[in-house]
Structure 1
Amino acid sequence: MVGKEALNTQYWQELQDKSALAGITLDSSISPADFRIYGDRLAQRQIEMFQRYGQYPLSQSTVIDLGCGLGRVSLPFSRVFASVTAIDINRRILDAGRTYCADATNIVFIENDGATIPLPSSSVEYCYCGGVLQHIKVLSVILDYFREGLRILKPGGLLNYSIQTWMDDIVSGNNIGKRITANDLNKVLSEFDCEALALIEDPKDPVPHLNVVILKKSDEFLASTVQAQLRDTLLVRQDVRTGIWEDLPSYQKFARLWAGPRKNVTFWS
């Protein structure tokens, strides 16, 4: 298992001289006001996914925000869900998140070990992870977070993880993580009694992402003989990041990114 300190060093140590906000956005020009608006709008897109595919009423449910950072989506989640458990590896970021979300009384911040989710099995209804896994440089850690998310979900619970799908096998750049493929994830899903409901892709996003939406059906542990579940027929194309940043004055880096060519998808390779 990769240690917490190694994972922390790979991502957070290089950002120690930056503010917590700049560490999250990787763009020091983004204003706090625009950051909050972006978070509210992004969270609303995720909430709509939970409402469309979930089985539990959100107002009576707990949602996990894995890799919560400042609480950009934890805060708007707290207005919809009964409770939010915000989890991150970095203590400094968690302290900043408590300040950012100080007005919300139903958010609990928890520091994890960089590999597991410190909650009991079958204890929550929803588990979300967004903008996190593409920074992790170790494939086993990424896959174990899928396992952990499915472990802590109640039967009928919903997992919604966002992954970038353009990676190559060479881990390069300060904040670029390891490539993940459909085959990698299918091996993990074969261990659980679960069903892949949708792979949600924003066709206008030049940095290809998928929201992987998975329903946990029961606590039964399955032998790895189940047919692969992730397939391109599950693709749902809709706006995810498109339409949430364009009117925000400090998101000029996004504007330049959107003007460039779309990266090639490697997820199905």
Structure 2
Amino acid sequence: MNLKLKDKTCIVTGATSGMGKAIAIAFHKAGANLVLSGRNEERGDLLAQNLENSIFLAGDVSEPKYNKKLVEIAIENFGKLDIVSLNAGILGLGNVIDLSIADWHTTLNTNLSSIFYISKYAIPYLEKNNGNILINASIAAFKSFPNHPAYCASKAGSVAVMKQMAVDYAPKIRVNAICPGPVDTPLIWDSAKAFEDPEKAVENAGNTTLLKRLGKPEDIASLALFLVSDDASWITGTAMNIDGGILNT
């Protein structure tokens, strides 16, 4: 077993399902101590029970105090913080006319402002350990989708803030983003509701990729593990697409 993250302490948000859960499991297998974040307390508690040296705290990443508490828990329980992996996200479906102002703000706060909140509290500790921040963005940062204005805006913003933090906090902290394409998670099925035939939309998304399939959460977790490990020690300020080649179609 290659324990690339042995003795590292990681915060993983969005850890109760989909890509975030797969990333948490991959980090655990690589030897990390974990502070897990999510809104579903039942799923989060079960995951923490199954992953040694893991703590789960239920909450909403759009709340600054909750992000501060995640960092405090990492320090109180493991004495340091090395990695922050940010995966929490919502869609906020609806075109600009139909989307409510409340849903616009909720989507931006969850997908984008949360990056600012947790980074603000985590960076002083990450600087001590040459740590890194990994943001789970999306190809929606670069490609438009029907009825996803808040989501696309938030993901473009997350790539922009990633690049800016990489400049401000180098060389002590590496900051990168992964930009998944269509991955078989609950989120893609929710996203497909924006289309007339959701099931067909998901099927078409997989078939449109050059590799003719949807991504798996484990595909994303493998890239995440690489980017937070020392194997990627000369990579920062990068938004890395992992999309089965769909942006090339």
- The alignment's TM-score, normalised by the length of structure 1, stands at 0.45
Larger fraction in helix: 2
Larger fraction in strand: 1
* Relative contact order, higher structure (CA 8 A, sep 6+): 2
